[in-house]
Amino acid sequence: MASEAIEDKWREIEGRVFGRCVWQHILPNRRMMLEGLMHKATGNVWIVEKTYDGPIPRSGSAKAWPHVAHVSVYREVAPEVSEWKEFEKALG
């Protein structure tokens, strides 16, 4: 499936299933981003791993974002884990 089709399908699912993003972390290779998204049905934070088909532009850049090439969803983080620092602490 082409990156554009994957991205379109993910946006449809994301809008229906998830609410606000409570944290984001771009990995050093700048091709992957982790997000903590509120799951609408449970109110829990789920982790979403997005891989892009090119590097994510740095903050303030006028460059267009690359397309989402792959998405992995990891469900239910403890309700008290709503910030990146709490997630790191929960991992030990």
Could you read off the pLDDT of 1-19 as tens digits, one per residue? 577 888 888 899 899 999 9
Out of 3-12, 15-24, 64-73, 75-84, least confident range: 75-84
Average pLDDT over residues 52-68: 94
Mean pLDDT of the chain: 86
- List 18's β-bridge partners, or say none: 39
The whole-angstrom separation of Cα 86 and Cα 64 is 31
The whole-angstrom separation of Cα 66 and Cα 48 is 17
